[in-house]
Amino acid sequence: MWTWYPHTQSVAREGWTGDESARPLSPQGLSQAGSLAAVMRDSIDAIHSSPAKRCVQTVEPLARSWALPRWLTSRSALWPSRTTAAAEASPPPSSPGP
């Protein structure tokens, strides 16, 4: 089963002049990402992440803490406006492994 979670808080779009895929997490988002390892401890087996910087920054602490496999895929970027519930109802096609 796929469960979709958004990245943690990122730097605001307003005023960001760089490439959208390079927009990082805010200091609060980095803190939130660090907390994911404790909150999601037993609920996941692998991580699929958009290659966008803020998405990678969100999953890195969790992947390191639990030695989870992580795949970067542009497929997760196909539904940027979908809610978690909608994404769970119709997951993306299988992604190749590392």
Map out the domains of the chain as residue ranges. 20-78
| Percentage of the chain lying above the pLDDT 90 cut | 24
Q: Which two tokens stand for residue 60?
A: 């890195």
Q: Tell me the one-letter amino acid at 37.
A: A
Cα distances (angstroms) measured from residue 84 to each of 18, 80, 81, 94:
27, 10, 10, 18
pLDDT at residue 85, rounded to an integer: 41
The distance between the two most distant Cα atoms of the chain, rounded to a whole number of Å, is 38
Instruction: List pLDDT tens digits, range 26-45.
Output: 999 999 998 887 787 667 78
pLDDT in tens, 52-94: 999 999 989 888 888 888 777 765 454 444 444 444 444 444 4
CATH number listed for the domain at residues 20-78: 3.40.50.1240
